Structure 1
Amino acid sequence: MKHLPKHLRPRWRYLAVGIECWPDASIGRRSFQRAVWYASQNLLGDPGSADADLTVVRFAFADGAGEALLKVRRGETDPARAAIACIDEIDGEPVGIAVRGIGGTIRAAEEKYLGRRGQVPEERNVVFENEDRVAVVRNGTGDVRLETSFVGATDLDYDLA
């Protein structure tokens, strides 16, 4: 079978996405792709979801922070961004997702928007609610470990122990 001529091939745009979650969360590529498909289908419906054709191209997640590169058809970036904004949890873990930017090629999107995850998270002993606790700190904010979960806090909410 012959390839389509260049003017008939589908054109793609690549969305660079930042993912943030609690430090002990474990999110895989497959579950992220499933969440993207469900959000797209729920917001855009079957025809809109098929038009956008959102696919995860690159995915990395560790220590509560990650990034992904999503392929979307040209002209469908606005509906795709709206669908991604609807994702609030993956596998029962609450997540924050932000589109960092859009590129015309994988290489351009990676070089411009991915690879710079900010600060590497570090664990510190802090005083929160008058008790010594452990916090995972990154970018000026901390996730303070409670007995069963985490609570998000800024450096104004806790003191270094």
Structure 2
Amino acid sequence: MKQVSSMEDKPKTLPASLRPKKRYIIFQVISEKPIDYIELVGAIWRTFLDFLGEMKTSEMNFWLIKNLYDQKNQRGVIRCSPDQVEYARAALALIDQIGETKAIIKINTVTGTIRSAKKKYLGFTDLTDFEK
């Protein structure tokens, strides 16, 4: 019997040029009271499905990144496909209430990498760049 190594079991990863491209929408929620992550996700999904329908929402490959939502500053990041960014911006502009709280979503910018979204717009710092 031939033994198979663990390296042969794993499929090869696609090179970066063949992977689907992504865009990251950095937004801020402006509201009377702090908004919980779960309420925000529900409001965004409802708006996307009402405005765009199931087909367009699925083509968007939309995802609200949970660990990048700052509940204190009410900032977050949404991932979507690059050709659907304008649809996402339009749908987010339609939100006027999240849960029972009046709120709007302000789009700060759109970036191509999660790293620049963290560094420039969310205030994360990478300490590996500094010399000793």
**SS class of match (1:99):** strand
Which residue of structure 1 aligns with residue 19 of structure 2? 9
1:74-131 Cα deviation digits (max 9, x unpaired): 2111001111111111111011211000111111122222339xxxxxxxxxxxxxxx
Larger strand share, 1 or 2: 1
Question: Cα distance 1:3–1:98, how it changes in 2: closer, same or farther (>3 A)?
Answer: farther
In structure 2, what is the Cα distance between the partners aligned to 1:4 and 1:40?
31
Give the structure with the larger helix fraction: 2
1:29 maps to a residue whose letter is Y
Number of residues paired by the alignment? 112
State the alpha-carbon separation in 1 of the partners of residues 98 and 123 from structure 2: 22
Distance 1:3 1:99, change over 3 A: farther
1:96 to 84, 87, 104: 104
Give the match's secondary structure for 1:102. Answer: strand
- Structure 1 SS opposite 2:11: coil
Structure 1 consecutive aligned stretches of length 4 or more whose deviation exceeds 6 Å: none
DSSP 3-state at the match of 1:79: helix
How many Å separate the matches in 2 of 1:112 and 1:43? 31
Residues of 2 paired with 1:78 and 1:46: CA distance? 17
- Counterpart of 2:120 in structure 1 is 112
Corresponding residue number in structure 2 for 1:128: none
- Structure 2's unaligned 5+ residue stretches are 1-9, 125-132
1:76 aligned counterpart, secondary structure: helix
Q: Which has the higher contact order (CA 8 A, sep 6+)?
A: 2
5+ residue gaps, structure 1: 117-161
RMSD of aligned alpha carbons: 1.9
Partner of 2:70, secondary structure, is strand
Distance 1:78 1:42 in 2: 16
- Structure 2 letter corresponding to 1:37: W
2:35 paired with 1:36? no
Conserved 8 A contact 1:37-1:54: no
Q: How does 1:131-150 map to 2 (within 5 A)?
A: none
* Pair 1:76 & 2:84 matched: yes
Q: What is the CA distance between 1:3 and its match in structure 2?
A: 4.7
Question: Which stretch shifts more, 7-16 or 40-49?
Answer: 7-16
